[in-house]
Amino acid sequence: MLKDNIVIVGCGRLGANLANAMSDDGKSVVVIDSNKESFRKLSPSYGGLTITGDAMELSVLAEAEIENAGAVVTVTNNDNTNIMVAQLAKELFHINEVVARLYDPDRECVYQEFGIRTICPAVLSTKEIDKLLDVWDGDEAV
């Protein structure tokens, strides 16, 4: 990774989990959330920054120094916000690595048109459950 700093938009369960993991991994992390209560989900060992604000506002993205980010990850609870901010990061700030979480798997094609990588929890979880049940096909040791 050329730049070791990452901007995470949304500090829900996934955003906080990711921020903690990246921070523990020695990366410079900035998390943005419109509700400052959300930051309570960050672990005591979290060493990054937090910014309270709406990531749809350019001033907030500027405060996070998004233009210098090595990666931007959008994981608010709103698919539309995740799409919009991911597009801003890609098109306006020319961030190469943009990952967006989307709840609705049918919208994945929208993102990919813009070169944005997506993850869909329902799809990931389905694969994981399928894997757990496949293991049980051959292995009854529970």
Is 30 in a helix, a strand, or coil? strand
Q: Is there a contact between 74 and 82 (Cβ–Cβ < 8 Å)?
A: yes
Binding residues vs a second copy (CB under 8 A)? 1, 6, 13-14, 17-18, 21-22, 71, 73, 75, 96-97, 99, 101, 103-105, 115, 117, 119, 121-126, 128-130, 132-133, 136-137, 140, 142
Q: Which is nearer to a second copy, 36 or 117 (CB)?
A: 117
CB of 35 to a second copy, least distance (A): 17
Question: How many residues are there in the chain?
Answer: 142
Burial of 136 (0-12, 13-18, 19+ CB in 10 A): exposed
Q: Which is nearer to a second copy, 58 or 126 (CB)?
A: 126
CB of 139 to a second copy, least distance (A): 11
CB of 11 to a second copy, least distance (A): 12
Q: Is there a contact between 88 and 61 (Cβ–Cβ < 8 Å)?
A: yes
